[in-house]
Amino acid sequence: MSIVVANGLTHWFGSEVALESIDLAIDAGEHMAVLGENGAGKTTLLRILATAARPTSGRLQIMGLDALRERKRLRARIGFVAHAPGLYPALSATENLNFFCTLQGIRRTRVAETLALVGLSEVAKRPAGQLSRGMQQRLAIGRAILHDPKLLVLDEPDASLGSDGADLLATVMRDRTVVLATHDHALANRLCQRTLVLRHGRSVGTPTRLHLVQ
Amino acid sequence: MTNSFAVAFAVARKDLTAEWRTRELVPALAQFVVLALVIANFGFQIDARNAPSIAPGVLWLALVFAGLVAFGRAFAAEREQASLEAMLMTPASPVAIFAGKAIAAGLLLVGCEAILLPALSLFFGTPMSAPIVAAVLLATIGMAALGCLFAAMVARIRSRELLLPLLTLPLWIPFIVAGGHAVQVAMGAGGSYDQALALLVDFDILFVVLTSLAARFVLDE
């Protein structure tokens, strides 16, 4: 069963086309990598799939719901890691996650478990502004999985993660449907079953893992 | 399900905690209002006779400009650290998020008023009475709602510092007129204090309702 079904997704920024007629179907539990050069439209596509942006035209269904009309319901089931970590620097790692627990309407009991999962238990009380860039990215990933989303949308999450970043991503992606934008083909090959390659906002094919290796 | 009251409370508490730890805004605003009073004190020939007629004008001028800075920062900081999108990507109601931001910004302005009113009394020799405090606090409610709405609207625009006063000031005029009149009466001028206060309450209700309705569209897009 497809979790994400997109037909003709198109997005314009003024007179510039950022995405052009993207068709997609992503099955439950599938991991799809989105590859492409800078400006290829990866972030625009991911923001639309995460319901953070609306396409100029096209249809998008996520988990059987119209993603343009049911954004609030879907946001409870989607986890999104954007380019910037989007944390509150004056609040500690725990306080950041506690705050998002309230916004998600979930209990705070998941916070300690999530911090342990992303390897931040030891710095849980440290202000987010004093964490390294990699730790901030881990905290942003922790925030994205706090509410146990079915669909995880990750926009270059490997940026500034340490050497064990791929292992962390593999852990958080387990048992979830994932769309992952990255420049790292090896990472995409390791973590994803399928790739979508974008060039100037257009899909230029969805090679399999074998094609990528070749 | 998210509870809107819990969300608004959490957002307000988060903003106030961040301000308490960084002390970015309130000390600067307090310094600004004291400097405004010092300048007004030297700029006008103040004596016991004209102080009650000049002091309300100085009070509202200082309050309006301090408010513009306080409400402008409320959303600018969220945009700068890209955290507004993270908040909006949750199922929490945008209206509750907006309410929390407005409450926090309003309380920060109240903190600034706690310096402004005694300082006004000190520099101008005018009494600081409960009716004056009540008029200023009532005006702060509506001003916070409107100021935060426009701050959210212009936060993603490059020339937001220019646009925020242009959009906000015309709609703050009712609060300045009614609040100014209430303060003048409380300082001894003629007129009805109750009528001015009732008008402030009416404006508060009207603008809190209107901004709550508009907030959903402003924040969600």
Task: Say which CATH number the domain at A101 has.
Answer: 3.40.50.300
pLDDT value, residue A210: 43
Distance in angstroms (rounded) separating the CA atoms of residues A39 and A35: 11
* Nearest by CB: A104 against B14, B21, B91: B91
Residue A211 in this model has a pLDDT that exceeds 70:
no
Q: Rounded CA gap, A31 and A192, in Å?
A: 5
Segment (H or E) for A3? strand A2-13
Contact yes or no for A179/A26 (Cβ under 8 A): yes
Q: What is the mean pLDDT of each run of 10 residues along chain B (221 residues)?
A: 87 95 90 91 83 88 92 85 90 93 94 93 88 95 94 84 90 94 88 92 96 88 59
For testing the chain B interface, which of A75, A102, A126 should be mutated: the one with the most B CBs within 10 Å?
A102
Containing domain of residue A132, as a range? 2-213
Q: Which residue range(s) make up the domain with B55?
A: 4-220
pLDDT of residue A165: 83
Look at A49 and B74; give whichever has higher pLDDT. Answer: A49
Average pLDDT over residues A114-124: 94
- Stretch A36-56: mean pLDDT: 92
Greatest mean pLDDT among A117-131, A150-164, B145-159 lies in A117-131
pLDDT score of A214: 43
pLDDT of residue A213: 45
CA distance A208 to A113: 35
Q: Confidence band (pLDDT; 50, 70, 90) for A206?
A: low
CB-closest option in A82, A95, A147 to B85: A82
Structural domain total, chain B: 1
- Mean local confidence (pLDDT), A88-99: 96
pLDDT at B1: 55
Of B175, B146, B111, B144, the residue nearest B183 (C-alpha): B175
Contacts of B178 (CB under 8 A, 6+ apart): B139, B196, B199, B200, B203
Q: Indicate yes or no: CB of B2 within 8 angstroms of CB of A102.
A: yes
Please say whether the beta carbons of B147 and B160 come within 8 A.
no
Q: Indicate if the pLDDT at residue A207 is higher than 60.
A: no
The number of folded domains in chain A is: 1
d(CA A124, CA B206): 44
A contact set with B (CB within 8 A): 50-52, 54, 71-73, 75-76, 78, 80, 82-91, 95, 99-100, 102-105, 127, 143, 147
Question: What is the per-residue pLDDT for B219?
Answer: 85
